[in-house]
Amino acid sequence: CVTLDVHAACRDTAVTQELLKEGFHRDLLVKVELGEDAGGCAVAARMRLPPGIYVDPYELATLQQHNLTKAVLFPDVIDVEAPEYSARDLLLLLFLEPDARCSRCFRAAVPVHARYHRPAEGTEEALVVLESPEVLLCCCHSHLSTECWEPAEVDTPCPSDNTSPCQWHSTKHRPAHEESVLRVPVGLREHSSLVCALTLLTTGLCSGLILAAACKYGHFS
């Protein structure tokens, strides 16, 4: 690793994130632009995912086996079937890859999935707000300025140096960023009586058809 001009990088760090695709299954794209060439430093984005969205650990493991992404998920055991109101926050550390079009730019994408929400009143969608990621740098054998960078508690080694400890650092300032909003379709509470009645009617009708077919074509000893 080489020394990084952290004053410029700290001052000009820009973070953007985009939700690609449509529906409940999306791709979260994170892009970071530093003020200077990172020069061999590992760059990562640490983000907190609210209960309304999650990363599938099994899908993530498959992507990592094919070297399509590199990330660490906390906790690593997740109930992917749980609705939003019984889920909890997740912490994702996403390692960013250099962008060939820009020496100061890094990017990475990870699949995310929306959870089912409770029915709402007066609206057909729930909003899931994704806060901007925290930018982390890991520059082995170099000294970062204490004016711009401070040690970060990250229990993960640098991807470029897995044999010896390497301290991650985070910016002391708040980088330029934008929040992302995921709009999740939800049911209307005022429709609950109608939905329950139709569900009960459909269940009774189907049960009756099954019973009639069993009596007509079944063989009973």
Q: What is the pLDDT of residue 3?
A: 40
Q: What is the pLDDT of residue 8?
A: 46
pLDDT band for 73, please (50, 70, 90 cuts).
Answer: very high
Angle in degrees, CA 135, 139, 143, rounded to 5: 110
Question: Is the residue at 3 inside a domain?
Answer: no
Q: Are residues 37 and 143 in the same domain?
A: yes
Q: What is the pLDDT of residue 178?
A: 67
Measured between alpha carbons, how far is 24 from 12 in angstroms, rounded to an integer? Answer: 34
More confident residue, 96 or 188: 96
pLDDT tens per residue across span 105-122: 899 999 999 999 888 777
Indicate if the pLDDT at residue 128 is higher than 50. yes
pLDDT band for 212, please (50, 70, 90 cuts).
Answer: confident
User: Which residue segment(s) compose the domain that 198 sits in?
Assistant: 188-220
Question: Is the residue at 131 inside a domain?
Answer: yes
pLDDT band for 51, please (50, 70, 90 cuts).
Answer: very high
Question: Is the residue at 193 inside a domain?
Answer: yes
Question: Is the residue at 19 inside a domain?
Answer: yes
Q: What is the pLDDT of residue 5?
A: 43
Q: Are residues 197 and 166 in the same domain?
A: no
Dihedral, CA atoms, 124, 125, 126, 130, nearest 10 degrees?
A: -170
More confident residue, 197 or 80: 80
Q: Are residues 79 and 122 in the same domain?
A: yes
pLDDT band for 6, please (50, 70, 90 cuts).
Answer: very low
Question: Is the residue at 4 inside a domain?
Answer: no
Indicate if the pLDDT at residue 131 is higher than 80. yes
Mean pLDDT of the chain: 81
Question: Is the residue at 1 inside a domain?
Answer: no
Q: Are residues 109 and 216 in the same domain?
A: no
Q: Are residues 109 and 197 in the same domain?
A: no
Q: Are residues 148 and 47 in the same domain?
A: yes
Q: Are residues 177 and 192 in the same domain?
A: no
Q: Are residues 115 and 200 in the same domain?
A: no
Question: Is the residue at 80 inside a domain?
Answer: yes
DSSP characters for 108-175? EEEEEEEPP---BSS-SEEEEEEPPPEEEEE-TT----TTTEEE----S--TT--SS----EEESS--
Question: Is the residue at 146 inside a domain?
Answer: yes
Q: What percent of the chain has pLDDT over 70?
A: 77
Q: What is the CATH number of the domain that holds 80?
A: 2.60.40
pLDDT band for 37, please (50, 70, 90 cuts).
Answer: low
Tokens (6 digits) for 123: 């609206």
pLDDT tens per residue across span 133-191: 988 888 776 666 667 777 888 888 887 555 556 788 887 666 666 678 888 887 665 56
The residues that bridge with 112 in the sheet, in sequence order, are: 26
Q: Are residues 173 and 192 in the same domain?
A: no
Q: Are residues 155 and 203 in the same domain?
A: no
Domain count along the chain: 2
Q: What is the pLDDT of residue 71?
A: 93
Q: Are residues 111 and 199 in the same domain?
A: no
Q: What is the pLDDT of residue 189?
A: 59
Q: What is the pLDDT of residue 157?
A: 81
pLDDT tens per residue across span 75-91: 988 999 999 999 999 99
Q: Are residues 207 and 151 in the same domain?
A: no
Q: Tell me if 7 sits within 8 A of 169, measured CB to CB.
A: no
